[in-house]
Copies of this chain bind each other. A is one copy, B any other.
Amino acid sequence: MNDKTDTRQQILDAAMDRILHYGYGKTTMSEIARDCGMSAGNIYRFFASKLDIAEAMARKYNMEINSANAALVRGNLEAPEKMRQFHFIALHETFAKLDKDAKILEVAEILARERPTFANEELAQERVYLVQILKQGMKEGSFAHMENPNFTAEMLQAATMKFRYPQLWSRLTLPELERELKGVLDITLAGLTVPVKSLEKLNAE
């Protein structure tokens, strides 16, 4: 059993080495196999397809961000500040990563196209942290009551879509993105301080 996960890990490591160096398209299964001293066919006993290797690779990257997020959520900042840092960390992390190696961007692009559900998993994971921050904010009074924090988290993600894989759908520089993200957060965080009821009253008046 441990043997099996070891081999799997070995394949993943070899694949990541190559992909980060030569890119996903220019890395072949037989090359990965050769690096591991096995045949290409044998890889398929550990990964169903080449795409699954890319997915595992992306998962590994996300785990780093997730543990950073977990630490942030655990910390003792106030909820609005946590929310800000959360989004800025995400922006900086992905921007730096994708800016440094164009290879990772290639993987991100392919995954977004071929595995649309994978991105949803990521978002769902991220929402776990967002919900915790929202709940903290409600408890400490910095956010108004909301019936469904998970829904609110989804909406926050929708509003900050533009900053998720920035170089995939905009050609803004990091400072430009930071300025916009700050602006969007200013408005949305302000919105979270307003109780829904009072908003409905406002619209109905």
User: A residues touching B (Cβ–Cβ < 8 Å)?
Assistant: 78, 80-81, 116, 142, 151-152, 154-156, 158-162, 169, 171, 180, 183-184, 186-194, 196, 199, 202-203
Contacts and interface: CB of A to CB of B under 8 A. Distances in A.
Given A155-B180, A190-B190, 8 more contacts: A80-B202, A142-B202, A152-B183, A154-B183, A155-B186, A159-B188, A169-B169, A193-B199
A81 B203 contact: yes
Complex A-B, nearest 8 residue pairs according to Cβ-Cβ distance, in ascending order? A191-B191, A155-B183, A190-B191, A187-B191, A190-B194, A159-B159, A161-B162, A190-B199
Contacts of A192: 187, 190-191
A69 to B, nearest CB: 20
9 contacts: A81-B203, A116-B171, A155-B187, A159-B187, A186-B191, A189-B199, A189-B203, A190-B191, A190-B199
Nearest to A168: B169
